[in-house]
Chains A and B, each alone.
Chain A
Amino acid sequence: MPRLHYLKAMNLALRDEMARDPAVFLMGEDINLALTNVATGLLSRFGPDRVVETPLSEQGFTNFATGAALTGRRPVVEYQIPFLLMLVLEQIVNQASRFSLMSGGRFRVPVTYLLPAAGWKPGWGAQHSDQPYPLFVHMGVKAVLPATPTDAYGLLTSAIRDDDPVLVFAPAAAHGVQEDVAFADLVPVPLGVGRVHRAGDDVTVVAVGHLVHDALAVAEDLADEVSVEVFDPRTLHPFDWPGLAASVERTGRLVVLDDSNRACGMAAEIVATAAEEMRLVAPPRRITRPDGAVLGGVPALDLAMQPNREQLAAAIRRVMK
Chain B
Amino acid sequence: MEGNPTEDGHAQLYRTIRLIRRFEEHAIDLVRSGDIPGIHPCIGQEAAAAGVCAALRKDDVVLSNHRGHGHLLAKGCDPGRLMAELLGRVTGIGRGGGGSLHPADLDSGVYGATATVGHGAAIATGVGWALAKEGGDRVAVAFFGDGAVNQGALLESFNLASLWRVPVVLVCENNLYATTLAAGEGNAGSVIGRAEGFGIPASTVDGQDPVLVREAARQAVHRARTGGGPSVLELLTYRYEGHHTFELKTRLRYRDKAEVERWRERDPLRIQGERVRAEDRELIDAEVEATLEEAVRSALDSPAPDPTDPLRYLYADGLRTRGGVSYA
A residues sitting closer than 8 Å to B (CB atoms) are 49, 54-55, 57, 59-73, 90-91, 94-95, 97-110, 140, 142, 162-164, 192, 238, 241, 273, 276-277
Residue on A nearest B155 in the bound complex, by CB: A60
Interface pair A70/B159, CB less than 8 Å apart: no
Interface pair B130/A106, CB less than 8 Å apart: no
Chain B residues 285-328 with CB under 8 Å of chain A are 311-317, 319, 321-322, 326, 328
Q: Which residues of B contact A59 (CB under 8 A)?
A: 122, 152-153, 156
Residue of B111, B133, B156, B314 near A70 (CB, 8 A) is: B111
A236 shortest CB reach to chain B, Å: 13
- 24 A-B Cβ contacts within 8 A? A57-B156, A59-B156, A60-B157, A62-B122, A63-B122, A64-B126, A67-B122, A67-B130, A68-B126, A68-B130, A71-B127, A72-B134, A95-B116, A99-B104, A102-B94, A102-B97, A102-B104, A103-B97, A103-B112, A105-B97, A109-B316, A140-B314, A162-B316, A164-B317
Residue on B nearest A69 in the bound complex, by CB: B126
Instruction: Report Cα–Cα, A176/B97, bound state, in Å.
Output: 45
Instruction: Report Cα–Cα, A69/B128, bound state, in Å.
Output: 11
Q: Which residues of A contact B315 (CB under 8 A)?
A: 100, 142, 164
The number of chain B residues touching the other chain, given as a range, is 35 or more
Interface pair B63/A67, CB less than 8 Å apart: yes
Residue on B nearest A22 in the bound complex, by CB: B133
What 5 A-B pairs have minimum CB-CB distances, sorted nearest first? Answer: A67-B126, A60-B156, A104-B95, A63-B122, A163-B316
Chain B residues 215-237 with CB under 8 Å of chain A are none
Interface pair A71/B92, CB less than 8 Å apart: no
Q: Which residues of B contact A67 (CB under 8 A)?
A: 63, 111, 122-130, 140
- Most-contacted residue by chain B among A68, A91, A109, A276 (CB, 10 A): A68
A-contact bits for B139-182, CB 8 A (1 contact / 0 none): 01000000000001100110110010000000000000000000
Q: Which residues of A contact B317 (CB under 8 A)?
A: 162-164
Residue on A nearest B127 in the bound complex, by CB: A67
Instruction: Report Cα–Cα, A259/B316, bound state, in Å.
Output: 29
B209 shortest CB reach to chain A, Å: 30
Interface pair B129/A68, CB less than 8 Å apart: yes
Interface pair B127/A102, CB less than 8 Å apart: no
B225 shortest CB reach to chain A, Å: 16
A167 shortest CB reach to chain B, Å: 14
B residues sitting closer than 8 Å to A (CB atoms) are 61, 63, 92-98, 102, 104, 106, 111-112, 114, 116, 119, 122-131, 133-134, 140, 152-153, 156-157, 159-160, 163, 311-317, 319, 321-322, 326, 328
Interface pair A64/B122, CB less than 8 Å apart: yes
Q: Which residues of A contact B313 (CB under 8 A)?
A: 100-101, 103-105
Interface pair A164/B125, CB less than 8 Å apart: no
A248 shortest CB reach to chain B, Å: 13
Q: Which residues of A contact B160 (CB under 8 A)?
A: 54-55, 57, 60-61, 64
Residue of B119, B312, B326 near A91 (CB, 8 A) is: B119
Residue on A nearest B319 in the bound complex, by CB: A238
A76 shortest CB reach to chain B, Å: 14
Q: Which residues of B contact A110 (CB under 8 A)?
A: 316
B97 shortest CB reach to chain A, Å: 5
Instruction: Report Cα–Cα, A205/B322, bound state, in Å.
Output: 23
Q: Which residues of B contact A94 (CB under 8 A)?
A: 116
Instruction: Report Cα–Cα, A59/B122, bound state, in Å.
Output: 8
Instruction: Report Cα–Cα, A102/B316, bound state, in Å.
Output: 11
Main secondary structure on A side of the interface with B: helix
Residue on A nearest B125 in the bound complex, by CB: A64
Q: Which residues of B contact A276 (CB under 8 A)?
A: 326, 328
Residue of B124, B314, B326 near A100 (CB, 8 A) is: B314
Instruction: Report Cα–Cα, A204/B322, bound state, in Å.
Output: 22
Q: Which residues of A contact B94 (CB under 8 A)?
A: 102-104, 106
Q: Which residues of A contact B106 (CB under 8 A)?
A: 103, 106-107
Instruction: Report Cα–Cα, A214/B206, bound state, in Å.
Output: 67
Interface pair A102/B112, CB less than 8 Å apart: yes
Interface pair A95/B97, CB less than 8 Å apart: no
A60 shortest CB reach to chain B, Å: 3
Q: Which residues of B contact A61 (CB under 8 A)?
A: 122, 156, 160
Residue on A nearest B96 in the bound complex, by CB: A104
Residue on B nearest A104 in the bound complex, by CB: B95
Interface pair A65/B114, CB less than 8 Å apart: no
Instruction: Report Cα–Cα, A108/B124, bound state, in Å.
Output: 15
Residue on A nearest B157 in the bound complex, by CB: A60
Known: A95-B123, A106-B93. 9 other contacts (CB 8 A): A60-B122, A69-B126, A72-B130, A91-B119, A100-B316, A102-B102, A102-B112, A105-B97, A238-B319
Instruction: Report Cα–Cα, A59/B304, bound state, in Å.
Output: 36
Interface pair A277/B104, CB less than 8 Å apart: no
B52 shortest CB reach to chain A, Å: 18
B111 shortest CB reach to chain A, Å: 5
Instruction: Report Cα–Cα, A142/B315, bound state, in Å.
Output: 9
Residue of A49, A91, A164 near B133 (CB, 8 A) is: A49
A238 shortest CB reach to chain B, Å: 6
Residue on B nearest A245 in the bound complex, by CB: B328
Instruction: Report Cα–Cα, A60/B157, bound state, in Å.
Output: 5
B96 shortest CB reach to chain A, Å: 7
Q: Which residues of B contact A140 (CB under 8 A)?
A: 314, 321
Q: Which residues of B contact A55 (CB under 8 A)?
A: 159-160, 163
Q: Which residues of B contact A277 (CB under 8 A)?
A: 326, 328
Interface pair A63/B112, CB less than 8 Å apart: no
Given A104-B93, A104-B97: A68 in contact with B328 (beta carbons within 8 A)? no
Given A60-B156, A60-B157, A63-B119: A104 in contact with B129 (beta carbons within 8 A)? no
Interface pair A64/B123, CB less than 8 Å apart: yes
Interface pair B104/A106, CB less than 8 Å apart: yes
Q: Which residues of A contact B311 (CB under 8 A)?
A: 101
